Amino acid sequence: MLNDADAQFAEALRADLPQAAFREVAPRYLEEPRGAYRGQAGLVLAPGSTEEVATILRAAGRARVPVVPYGGGTGLVGGQVLPEGPAPLLLSLERMTAIRATYPSENVLVAEAGAILETVQGAAEQAGRLFPLTLASQGSARIGGLLSTNAGGVNVLRYGNARELCLGLEAVLPDGSIWHGLKRLRKDNTGYDLRNLLIGAEGTLGVITAAALRLYPLPAATGAALMVVPSPAAALELLAMAGDVIGEGISAFELISGQGLRFLAETVPELRQPFADPPDWMVLVDLGLGPGRAPQDALEALFARGHEAGLVSDGLIAQSEAQRRDFWHIRETIPEANKRVGAIASHDISLPLSAIPDYIARASERLAQHGAYRINCFGHLGDGNLHFNAFPLPGEAKADRIAEKPQVQRIVHDLVHEMDGSISAEHGIGRLKAPDLERYGDPSKLAAMRAIKSALDPNGIMNPGAVLRAGPG
Amino acid sequence: MLNDADAQFAEALRADLPQAAFREVAPRYLEEPRGAYRGQAGLVLAPGSTEEVATILRAAGRARVPVVPYGGGTGLVGGQVLPEGPAPLLLSLERMTAIRATYPSENVLVAEAGAILETVQGAAEQAGRLFPLTLASQGSARIGGLLSTNAGGVNVLRYGNARELCLGLEAVLPDGSIWHGLKRLRKDNTGYDLRNLLIGAEGTLGVITAAALRLYPLPAATGAALMVVPSPAAALELLAMAGDVIGEGISAFELISGQGLRFLAETVPELRQPFADPPDWMVLVDLGLGPGRAPQDALEALFARGHEAGLVSDGLIAQSEAQRRDFWHIRETIPEANKRVGAIASHDISLPLSAIPDYIARASERLAQHGAYRINCFGHLGDGNLHFNAFPLPGEAKADRIAEKPQVQRIVHDLVHEMDGSISAEHGIGRLKAPDLERYGDPSKLAAMRAIKSALDPNGIMNPGAVLRAGPG
């Protein structure tokens, strides 16, 4: 059984921690972006060093107090809020924000877990390098949380998930011991892969305190195009063609639906639409090329070949960096438009690339059998990652139809499962999807996960209820 | 306590397994390439399916019989041989060799664990794709073993280790349950990363039975050059310059020493040397470029800029694929020359890139203080992975000086540890380096590894003594 992080527990810690570590239990620590959960906390601590994190975990272990690690608070699956049970100790990394070192010749940067993604991107750029992790919440998301949730974003196609961008970790394990694993090595086969076990564990196996991150050369030139395609299947053929025509250098390949463009026109009318008539489907192709190659030429070549093959009917190639940013602004404003329209159910799914057209057709059909919805299907097509979201019809209010949410999610996720996909591509499990993981997860893997959790955190203090629920469900 | 895989145990299994699964205990199963260990086995089983692997592990668990998973037998650290203790069941994957499916449009291939690397490379090429894992033993190494040891090789710089080339696994866990994790997804954040935990675990946490592997586009054009450099520091500067001049597309960047070339001249005189006078240091630069770029032009540009900056004094650019293969043949024959000369001690180390010149200087100096050696330092410089090997002087026999091996290894590894490197870059820990892991490994990580091992394999049947020794050492 776990205990509250009560006044007595806090008092006992005062001898071991500086005053600065004790924070007010402010509302911002207890909210999450989607408003689905309201957290609680008996105590908020913001340690200033790895040793202080260790001190805190040892004390929590002795007192059997639950610990919720807290980064930027931007997670979308409730991993950062503990709504019930004993009042936890919320451990915020907000004071551990240093860029400890930059090694441009090694393409490595070492950042503390509390460093904000934008700060890391900036530090890399100052060193003439690229840290490619890019996502909507980069102004507030912190490195520790991004790694703990194995964040994705728009550049996964080329550079991989957060997991692939991490060479080494420093972390405090549930027993309060410090793992000094901040290696800057490309090859290191010395025992089990603890790094990848902590990455994506959502704070349930320990607290990441610092990371050695991979940097890349800044692309010599960037470019982008919007291309109108007749169907998702054509979009996938165009992606394969882009591989042949352009080779490496495709940084992102995003699918945008007519529904998404109509939502934009409706809710963000000041945003200038690229095509007078919103096409049913289009893709945003983004390039970052090495020396000696012009992105516009490459995109024109792709357009020409795609057009000839009947894969592209219309298109726009950015003539400037400002225009490229405009294209991205369209893509990035879709989630805001969705929010304004009000989804009945949103999803973060992935599928084997070749299954995507079939999935979109079958999922749409199954949903139509269940009820009438507007579907905005968009996302990181190059990674097989779609946000397949269902909305009420025009004139209907979200509130009138929100009761359908569980059935809609069930239909969407059941088909994902049937087609060998994932019910959480980039957002993680958190508390929101813990029941889904029990339903769809491989039983043998789930048993292994529970065994690992018990082995590393026998008292169950680390972020209880996230990823794995207490009972066997 | 564990028991022998004795006749009674074998007999009991006959009811559950086909006759074809029972193999003779042939000597080839008990030998390893370096001749440092001689294994034993009470029984050799070669299951024909994943279900048969599960049957075997369940029986071994009930009878507390040790299981040694066996791939191609090419490992260099004794992970595939159990020299002492109860006679194990040797579980060979040699009959599970199918390429289950190829998905060229997804850049994915699904192979069973017993598939030989060359077969997988060939299947990928037939599908118009590249499976980039490339190493000396590719004619006999099997996918399961390559993943279990997280194999490296010459293309890591560009494509990553075996770990990075695997999207999903099917495996049998120590309790005999089957994990169906053969996903073909680029993004899947559903729980702990069991895939990466099994990769590199060297058969101590379960048996990999199949893998979904990443494929890449075949490069449109390849090229190679040998460039003479004044020092390892200059070689590293040239590597950074190559990134600026050529961008992505550098597949390998190998360091070759004058000592290696002299060993070649001595022991393989029929091999034509590229330079009349063996230079002290040279690099082999290998390129695989996308469409529209000529490797020879890129290499000439690099040579010109490197020459101007004083980083390159001489060089040869391959004028044909045959000549490119000749360059690689030089690099790949160095281990054979080393074998013929006879090393006192060989090492597989990695270091942060910027530490390499300093490491080579300091390690050479420390060894010189200890005794007189010829040092052949070569390897995958682009990955920070060196083979830093010490040889007797001309006229001396290896046997006369082999007693110095432990001290030489200690000197080399101590300095690696001091400089934040790894004592096993690509070969793994096996049985050979289990004591080194205890000496140099992070205590907190080692404790976590032991906890994970106990949790997933409570009876300790899986490859006992590999990676982790029984006692706390």
User: Is there a single domain that holds both residue A296 and residue A408?
Assistant: yes
Query: Which of A185, A445, A452 lies nearest to residue B452, judging by beta carbons?
Result: A452
- Look at residues A16, A85, A77, A11 and name the one whose alpha carbon lies nearest to residue A43: A11
Q: Is residue B44 part of a domain?
A: yes
In tens, the pLDDT along A288-306 reads 988 778 999 999 999 999 9
Segment (H or E) for A467: none
Degrees to nearest 5, angle at CA B147 with B10 and B459: 40
Please say whether the beta carbons of A47 and A90 come within 8 A: no
In this prediction, residue A471 carries a pLDDT of 58
Cα nearest neighbour of A161 on chain B = B187
Name the domain count of chain A: 3
Backbone angles phi, psi at A426, to 5 degrees: -135, -10
Indicate the residue among B167, B182, B217 that finishes a domain.
Answer: B217
Contact A449 B191 (CB under 8 A): yes
Confidence check: pLDDT of B71 > 60? yes
Query: How far apart are the C-alpha atoms of A345 and B185, rounded to whole Å?
Result: 23
Query: Which of B163, B179, B185 lies nearest to residue A445, judging by beta carbons?
Result: B179
User: Is there a single domain that holds both residue B369 and residue B266?
Assistant: no
Contact A427 B201 (CB under 8 A): no
Contact A178 B444 (CB under 8 A): yes
Q: What beta strand segments (E) does B242-340 contain? A: 250-257, 281-289, 314-317
Confidence check: pLDDT of A473 > 60? no
ipTM, two decimals, is 0.96
Q: Report the CATH number that the domain containing residue A44 is assigned in CATH.
A: 3.30.43.10
Best interface-test mutation with B: which of A165, A172, A186, A424 has the largest number of B CBs within 10 A? A186
Query: Which of A106, A244, A429 lies nearest to residue B191, judging by beta carbons?
Result: A429
Confidence of residue B472 (pLDDT cuts 50, 70, 90): very low
Q: Report the CATH number that the domain containing residue B389 is assigned in CATH.
A: 3.30.70.2740
Q: What beta strand segments (E) does B204-358 contain? A: 207-214, 216-217, 221-229, 250-257, 281-289, 314-317, 349-350
User: Is there a single domain that holds both residue A211 and residue A225?
Assistant: no
Contact B179 A427 (CB under 8 A): no
User: Is there a single domain that holds both residue A77 and residue A117?
Assistant: no
User: Is there a single domain that holds both residue A349 and residue A410?
Assistant: yes
Query: Which of A105, A161, A443 lies nearest to residue B187, judging by beta carbons?
Result: A161
Q: Residue range B267-271: average pLDDT?
A: 96
In this prediction, residue B405 carries a pLDDT of 97
Query: How far apart are the C-alpha atoms of B423 and B441, rounded to whole Å?
Result: 9
Distance to chain B for A189, nearest Cα, Å:
5
Contact B245 A291 (CB under 8 A): yes
Indicate the residue among A152, A183, A217 that finishes a domain.
Answer: A217
Query: Which of B181, B188, B421 lies nearest to residue A185, judging by beta carbons?
Result: B421
Query: How far apart are the C-alpha atoms of A228 and A279, rounded to whole Å?
Result: 7
- Look at residues A448, A236, A170, A54 and name the one whose alpha carbon lies nearest to residue B169: A448
Cα nearest neighbour of A439 on chain B = B190
The DSSP-derived string for B145-196 is HHHHTT---TTHHHH--GGGGEEEEEEE-TTS-EEEE----S---SSS-HHH
Confidence check: pLDDT of B473 > 60? no
User: Is there a single domain that holds both residue B147 and residue B105?
Assistant: yes
Backbone angles phi, psi at A344, to 5 degrees: -75, -45
Confidence of residue B470 (pLDDT cuts 50, 70, 90): confident
In this prediction, residue A263 carries a pLDDT of 98
Query: How far apart are the C-alpha atoms of B20 and B23, rounded to whole Å?
Result: 7
CB contacts of A179 in chain B (<8 Å) are 442, 444-445, 448
User: Is there a single domain that holds both residue A187 and residue A301?
Assistant: no
In tens, the pLDDT along A430-472 reads 999 999 999 999 999 999 999 999 999 999 999 999 999 985 4
Residue A52 one-letter amino acid? E
Query: Which of B175, B426, B444 lies nearest to residue A189, judging by beta carbons?
Result: B426
Confidence of residue B471 (pLDDT cuts 50, 70, 90): low
Query: How far apart are the C-alpha atoms of A414 and A365, rounded to whole Å?
Result: 13
The DSSP-derived string for B34-54 is TSS-B---SEEE--SSHHHHH
Degrees to nearest 5, angle at CA B262 with B258 and B263: 115
In this prediction, residue B247 carries a pLDDT of 80
Structure tokens at B325: 């293969």
Q: Is residue B261 part of a domain?
A: yes
Contact A157 B186 (CB under 8 A): yes
Structure tokens at B343: 């090393």
Neighbours of B288 (CB within 10 A): 26
CB contacts of B186 in chain A (<8 Å) are 156-157, 350, 383-385
User: Is there a single domain that holds both residue A267 and residue A388?
Assistant: yes
Q: Is residue A431 part of a domain?
A: no
Q: List strands edge to edge, sheet with A314-317.
A: A314-317, A221-229, A281-289, A250-257, A374-380, A385-391, A349-350
In tens, the pLDDT along A368-407 reads 999 999 999 999 999 999 999 999 999 999 999 999 999 9
A-B C-beta contacts closer than 8 Å = 266
In tens, the pLDDT along A196-205 reads 999 999 999 9
Q: Report the CATH number that the domain containing residue B336 is assigned in CATH.
A: 3.30.70.2190
Backbone angles phi, psi at B462, to 5 degrees: -85, 110
Backbone angles phi, psi at B348, to 5 degrees: -130, 85
Indicate the residue among B94, B128, B155 that finishes a domain.
Answer: B94
Q: Is residue A429 part of a domain?
A: no
Q: Residue range A29-38: average pLDDT?
A: 93
In tens, the pLDDT along A42-96 reads 999 999 999 999 999 999 999 999 999 999 999 999 999 999 999 999 999 999 9
Distances (CA, A) of B461 to A2, A161, B32, B89: 35, 35, 21, 10
Please say whether the beta carbons of B132 and B214 come within 8 A: no
Q: Which domain holds residue A166?
A: 99-217
User: Is there a single domain that holds both residue A365 and residue A410?
Assistant: yes
User: Is there a single domain that holds both residue A284 and residue A351?
Assistant: yes
The residues, any chain, with a CB within 8 Å of residue B263's CB and separated by 6 or more, are B334, B337, B338, B340, B341, B376, B391
Query: How far apart are the C-alpha atoms of B109 and B213, rounded to whole Å?
Result: 5
CB contacts of A201 in chain B (<8 Å) are 192-193
Q: By percentage, how much of chain B surpasses pLDDT 70?
A: 99
Query: How far apart are the C-alpha atoms of A27 and A31, rounded to whole Å?
Result: 7
Confidence check: pLDDT of A343 > 80? yes
Query: How far apart are the C-alpha atoms of A210 and B61, rounded to whole Å?
Result: 40
Distance to chain B for A182, nearest Cα, Å:
9
Contact A185 B422 (CB under 8 A): yes
Report the DSSP beta bridge partners of residue A92.
A70
Q: Is residue B183 part of a domain?
A: yes
Query: How far apart are the C-alpha atoms of B269 and B261, rounded to whole Å?
Result: 10
Q: Report the CATH number that the domain containing residue B196 is assigned in CATH.
A: 3.30.465.10
Query: How far apart are the C-alpha atoms of A38 and A30, rounded to whole Å?
Result: 6
In this prediction, residue A470 carries a pLDDT of 80
Q: Residue range B291-296: average pLDDT?
A: 86
Query: Which of A205, A247, A428 lies nearest to residue B291, judging by beta carbons?
Result: A247
Q: Is residue B450 part of a domain?
A: no
Secondary structure letter of residue A17 according to DSSP: S
User: Is there a single domain that holds both residue A143 and residue A190?
Assistant: yes
- Arithmetic mean of pLDDT over chain A: 96
Distance to chain A for B265, nearest Cα, Å:
31
Cα nearest neighbour of B189 on chain A = A428
Cα four-point dihedral sign A329, A332, A336, A342: positive
Contact B191 A446 (CB under 8 A): yes
Contact A291 B244 (CB under 8 A): yes
Query: How far apart are the C-alpha atoms of A229 and B368, rounded to whole Å?
Result: 67
Q: Is residue A465 part of a domain?
A: no
Q: Is residue B181 part of a domain?
A: yes
Contact A189 B293 (CB under 8 A): no
In tens, the pLDDT along B77-113 reads 999 999 999 999 999 999 999 999 999 999 999 999 9
User: Is there a single domain that holds both residue A312 and residue A228?
Assistant: yes
Cα nearest neighbour of B175 on chain A = A444
In tens, the pLDDT along B320-345 reads 999 999 999 999 999 999 999 999 99
Contact A293 B289 (CB under 8 A): no
End-to-end CA gap in chain B? 18
Q: By percentage, how much of chain A surpasses pLDDT 90?
A: 94
Query: How far apart are the C-alpha atoms of A118 and A134, rounded to whole Å?
Result: 9
Please say whether the beta carbons of A381 and A283 come within 8 A: yes
The Cβ-side half-sphere exposure at B211, using a 13 Å CA radius, reads 31
